[in-house]
Amino acid sequence: MAQTLAHRKKNAAALLLSVPLVVFALVFVAYPLASGIATAFTSKSLLDPTEAFNGVDNFVSIFAKPAFLNAAGFTALFAAVVVACEMVLGFGLALLFDRKFPGKKLFFTLTLLPIMIAPALLGIMFRLLLNEDIGAIPALLQSVGLSVSLFSPSSVIPLLVVLDILQWTPFTFLIIYAGLQSFPRELLEASSVDGAHFFRQLWHIVLPVLKPVLFAAFFLRAIDAIRTFDVIYVLTAGGPGTTTTTLSIYIYKVAFEQGDFGKAAAASLVVLICLLPFVPFIVKRIASTGMEGK
């Protein structure tokens, strides 16, 4: 009897403690999600605030023109390139900083600075810095006889890729560096005794042990890269034409320039549905080491 009472008390405490989480989930996850799903099936717009149910019209409308698929294609390519580069560079930087050298703290701080700048502000900064007429970088290049037009249609996509890499490599570096700090050094020492060289250690010991950390960094950056908006919107607004339109810019324009909230919600839902299957796959790999042996 006493045991049952204790069990009930424990359950009651557990329920009580879970209330904030449930409220948070309801207000900030479930409600917006349900509201978004409901809106995706209506004609809600600035011109038609009645929110009349219109079935799958919004979804048909999204795919009727190539704009959405073009945005999806550009987003996928952009995300793949920047995340791959950021992972490789972040990993390289983490290895570099995983040793002692003079001025390490200063360089560490400087390396992290870009992620502390708001992306929209970074876009504005580079719009000024790269301006052909008043920008410091073109002036510097011209002083050594180089003339480049970084905002021309042929240069603008590589420019956006470089800016994203500049801003977000420190993020992958930070996560991987944190993982390296908890790396069991005795493994490396033992392998050294066995005659393993640096690249062998890297491939057979460091990478497998850091796998969950690498997946976490990859997952977080991939999600963020797919949602890229600020820098590109500030610099190109998705153009010329729709050349640099990401999914976020497409959805923003449909909602706030076209005023078509139903279509914007439908596009958001399609993106969500396309991304959802990847989540369990990635989460499984992030959690794989943590789950082992438990």
Tell me how far, at minimum, the Cβ of 164 lies from other proteins, in Å.
17
Piece of 46-54, 72-80, 201-209, 285-293 that binds other proteins (CB under 8 A): 46-54
Residue 71 vs 210, nearer CB to other proteins: 71
**How many CB atoms within 10 Å of residue 141?**
14
Which positions from 239 through 268 interact with other proteins, judged by CB under 8 A?
239-243, 253, 255-259, 261
Q: How is residue 75 written in tokens?
A: 């987003």
Residue 168 vs 261, nearer CB to other proteins: 261
Question: Which residue type occupies 119?
Answer: P
- CB-CB contact of 104 with 275 (8 Å): no
DSSP symbols for 146-198: ----TTSTTTHHHHHHHHHHHHHHHHHHHHHHHHHHTS-HHHHHHHHHTT--H
Strand partners, 45: 260
Site string for other proteins, 123-142 (x = CB under 8 A): --------xxxx--------
What is the secondary structure of 98-140 as a DSSP string?
A: SS--TTHHHHHHHHHGGGGS-HHHHHHHHHHHT-TTT-HHHHH
Region near other proteins per CB under 8 A, out of 26-34, 96-104, 218-226, 275-283: 26-34
Among 11, 35, 109, 192, binds other proteins (CB under 8 A): 35
CB of 72 to other proteins, least distance (A): 16
Q: Name which position in 94, 156, 209, 210 contacts other proteins (CB under 8 A).
A: 156
**Residue 31 binds to other proteins (criterion: CB under 8 A):** yes
Nearer to other proteins, 158 or 240 (CB): 240
Burial class, 11, CB count within 10 angstroms (exposed 0-12 / middle 13-18 / buried 19+): exposed
Distance of CA 153 to the CA centre of its chain: 25
CB 265 within 8 A of CB 36: yes
User: Which is nearer to other proteins, 109 or 155 (by Cβ)?
Assistant: 155
Cβ closest to other proteins, residue 91 vs residue 250: 250
Site for other proteins in 68-107 (CB under 8 A): none
* 276 interacts with other proteins by CB under 8 A: no
CB of 55 to other proteins, least distance (A): 18
Q: Which is nearer to other proteins, 121 or 178 (CB)?
A: 121
Contact 79, 64 (CB under 8 A): no
Instruction: Give the closest residue to 132 by CA, choosing from 164, 156, 114, 158.
Output: 156
Binding site for other proteins (CB under 8 A): 22, 25-26, 30-31, 33-35, 38, 44, 46-47, 49, 51, 131-134, 149-153, 156, 235-243, 253, 255-259, 261
